[in-house]
Structure 1
């Protein structure tokens, strides 16, 4: 959404490139392309949907907050039409040369992400006077599982670096459950796909787990995945999912990756002339830097995630079942997607290459046995079976540079730098 925030300030070739690459709607560029969807998604306010006992709500709706801000140097004035388009309440005027200026931006981002993102611009030095504007987008998400995991079913087990499970083992804390979820190992041959719904929401957590070495070497594109989710069947699944908490930070590589998608004009002068009133001064404006930070925490209760992106503009800027559940051990690298069903929208996506070390968590797992032992799942009253598959490549995906994005069906996701453990947030 951060590039959507700069879209009304673009002119000429920059408008065309953003439309063609990101699928922004044709017509007048003087409007925020994601505003309607953002407003709708932000209606998820975390309100209590059930009883409150001892001050604790046990049926809380998801929280999804999307926020924007435009910070500009006090020596220049924004174009009135741009100010009106983005909303005058999000425009902040500060002196970029002042030592306290980063504090103002960072405090705003920290507040909007519930403290998960401490800073988005360097707190150690003033903002450069040569930067005329900073456009910041944040997203905060917190939701409980519709079918929660339980602490007494968490153990410490091996997480492998490859699908063969014969090398690179490390220890992780695994959550376990046996329940009915939308599931398939047919919609994308070579992968197990499961969707874990969040309580009182169309949002869900989609896991894509490679089943063979060929699949593990590829990256599944969300644009390829979304049309297939409706074909998943309700299936009883014995699921082992590692707890994980990751953070990521991108600077230089993100700008280069955006350029590689075909969005080049905003990074040179003369394409952002709807930002400032002074037509002559705007000729030298350009996107100088894109900074992105994100955090995600997946545990027994649910998921909490946040991300912030800053664009620096400078000058030249259980029922009875007849069949046993299918076994799905997420004990090697996998992808995940936080998906909104009716909007066919991906809010967060990432790749888990290595979960957090057990030494970094507060609570020791209560379950001591290992889930690859023959009798492990007997405590759940099941004998899960492993799915069969054919080693075909029909995903249409290939290794690519990717990051968390705001991707809707039919739109082209932005390419960006890939993190070995996790890729995070929105840059559209």
Structure 2
């Protein structure tokens, strides 16, 4: 049964990740992108626990988030199985938190699900003192992301109408199983899709890696392993310098498993740029394009959240992300905050392969059993990147008391 839950959850996360990334690319052409679909889906999953099963709000969330069930209990069990695995991961920190307006209480069942299934702690704070409340929330996120994610919530996003803030934070810092030699890193050309050429610090290696030619995608794939973990970085490189857009369209309909199942062990000559990248965006239009609309327009049904009967809705979703890739490994962080206010064996030796990531490419960091943690692309050496998501919910003013 546990294996079945895991398979359903992984498939659900894979579909959501592909759909979400596709929308993010459409809204951000030619930008470097990094995001954590798991962080976003987890925070939205906590929000879903407050919606009544079968309500229009629950149906929209279940569809847009690609949950494998329409029942809160089964959705929560899926998250519980995955989050429990990550608690035991030495190179990954993942934490959830619920901040609640002072003198307010969440419904008993909602609190039990978040505590038992999402490993979330609750803390009462005064949102009417916006700067102090924001400092408390931001300080918690920074402490869980090695200070890579800061200012997830601004003081002006909080007020006396704010009822609760749901936060998810992820930090991963992994060392390559096979590290790149710093002495082999040198300045080399990086070819942009618009025929411009920029200089980058290019890491070079010749080792055995899992590799695949992907002729149906006009691309090739390379997997880099991290020490002491079941996490990997998969890089998918279009064969053409200007091929990333076409590759990304094909990735929307290609599962992670379809690609990783084609990987075989080869000696590979690798070129990979060192890079840092940051990304930040308000995600409301992305969610709406994915069919999640009711939570923004005052018609949301979150009757399972609070003891009070105030109408809640979502006013903002902000996403931030960070990644750094170098000779030692990768450091990535992500955070999502929802502010809710009233309203095997090696094969025989094969011919060496070449994997020269000297033009724009796609990448994902994923768990062997639980699917992707982070997805992104690298379009240009000039852009940096950070991960963090924030959903800000405001109540209908006419239904709120001053």
1:354 and 2:380 are equivalent in the alignment: yes
1:33-64 per-residue CA deviation (whole Å, 9 max, x = no partner) reads 4121011023112xxxxxxxxxxxxxxxxx11
Structure 2 stretches lacking a partner, 5+ long = 1-41, 392-402
In the TM superposition, residue 215 of structure 1 has moved relative to its aligned partner by 3.5
Structure 1 stretches lacking a partner, 5+ long = 46-62, 357-419
In the TM superposition, residue 139 of structure 1 has moved relative to its aligned partner by 0.7
1:205-258 per-residue CA deviation (whole Å, 9 max, x = no partner) reads 00011112673222123853332211211121100000011111222xx01111
CA distance change for structure 1 residues 234 and 427 in 2, over 3 Å: closer, same or farther?
Answer: farther
SS at match of 1:41: helix
Q: Which residue of 1 aligns with 2:334?
A: 307
1:263 and 2:292 are equivalent in the alignment: yes
Give TM-score, length-normalised by structure 1.
0.72
RMSD: 2.5
Distance of 2:287 and 2:332 partners within structure 1? 23
Q: Which residue of 1 aligns with 2:303?
A: 273
In the TM superposition, residue 355 of structure 1 has moved relative to its aligned partner by 2.5
Distance of 2:292 and 2:269 partners within structure 1? 44
Using CA pairs under 8 Å that are at least 6 residues apart, name the structure with larger relative contact order, 1 or 2: 2
Larger relative strand fraction: 2
CA distance change for structure 1 residues 426 and 187 in 2, over 3 Å: closer, same or farther?
Answer: farther
Q: Which residue of 1 aligns with 2:140?
A: 108
Give TM-score, length-normalised by structure 2.
0.77
CA distance change for structure 1 residues 315 and 222 in 2, over 3 Å: closer, same or farther?
Answer: farther
Larger relative helix fraction: 2
1:4 and 2:41 are equivalent in the alignment: no
**8 Å contact from structure 1 (residues 352, 422) kept in 2:** no
Q: Which residue of 2 aligns with 1:29?
A: 72
Match of 1:205 among 216, 221, 233: 233
Which residues in structure 2 correspond to 1:23-422 (within 5 Å)? 23-26=66-69, 28-30=71-73, 32=76, 33-45=78-90, 63-87=91-115, 90-98=121-129, 99-122=131-154, 125=156, 127-162=158-193, 167-186=195-214, 188-212=216-240, 215-218=243-246, 219=248, 220-221=251-252, 224-251=255-282, 254-267=283-296, 268-279=298-309, 281=310, 284-316=311-343, 324-343=351-370, 345-355=371-381
**8 Å contact from structure 1 (residues 349, 423) kept in 2:** no
In the TM superposition, residue 100 of structure 1 has moved relative to its aligned partner by 1.0
Distance of 1:236 and 1:122 partners within structure 2? 49
Query: Size of the alignment, in residue pairs?
Result: 335
